[in-house]
Amino acid sequence: MKVVVGLGNPGKRYDGTRHNVGFAVIDGLASGPRAGRFQSRFQAQVCELVEDAGKILLVKPETFMNLSGRCVRQVMDFYQLIVADLLVVCDDINLPLGKLRVRVRGTHGGHNGLRDIQVHLGTTEYARLRLGVDAPREGAIDHVLGRFNPAERAVIDDAVVLASQAVLVWASRGVEACMNQYNGPKDQKQD
């Protein structure tokens, strides 16, 4: 089994915000015919997606962004998974709007959700897929908790679809193949 954790904040108040693009990717993957229904487990909403490569557990933590690590640790422990079976999807203010970046490991880069996951897993050796939400003009908190304007919405919607495809490549062919295919220009398409 592979686990994909999309980071975001629960509740209607945060729907459609920059910080919730991880949730948007999970929702996109869960909308297909091979996905089950969301259930409450591990302080999260989870559902199984069955692909040719096997089962993928889709996870949306309900602990709020800054406490995402608790949920991730519970899932990893329950299924006795190694970090190579984990992909975390999140927003990144250091990337241009819509740009994807896949990494095998790395620091949290100031992202509080990644910081908490790093603390709970005790390592930075887990894959992450970051979606660019652009740099803030003023305060970072207001920026990531803000919604996309209409011109940005089309770009981010396309990026969410591309990120969903990247997740499936990661699950079936591995992180290196995913990096090679999706770390290029933001208009790069799946083969």
19 is catalytic: yes
Q: Which of 96-100, 110-114, 183-187 has the lowest mean pLDDT?
A: 183-187
pLDDT at 148: 82
pLDDT tens digits, residue range 30-54? 998 899 899 999 989 999 999 887 8
Both tokens of 68, joined, read 């995402």
Confidence at residue 166, expressed as pLDDT on a 0 to 100 scale: 94
- 150-173 vs 175-182: helix crossing angle, rounded to 10: 150
| AA identity, residue 28 | G
Mean pLDDT of 13-21: 88
| Helix runs in 2-139, H state only | 21-30, 68-79, 112-121
- Please tell me the pTM assigned to this model: 0.89
Using one digit for the tens of pLDDT, what is the confidence trace for 48-97?
A: 999 887 899 999 999 988 899 999 999 999 999 999 999 999 998 888 99
CA separation for the pair 102, 131 (Å, rounded): 9
Left (φ > 0), alpha (ψ -120 to 50) or beta: where does 21 sit? Answer: alpha
Give the pLDDT band (50/70/90) at residue 142. low
Length of the chain: 191
pLDDT at 170: 93
Give the confidence band of 7 by pLDDT, cuts at 50, 70, 90.
very high
Structure confidence at residue 179 (pLDDT) = 92
**Burial class (CB within 10 angstroms; exposed 0-12, middle 13-18, buried 19+) of 101:** middle
Q: Active site residue: 19, 111, 120, 143, which one? A: 19
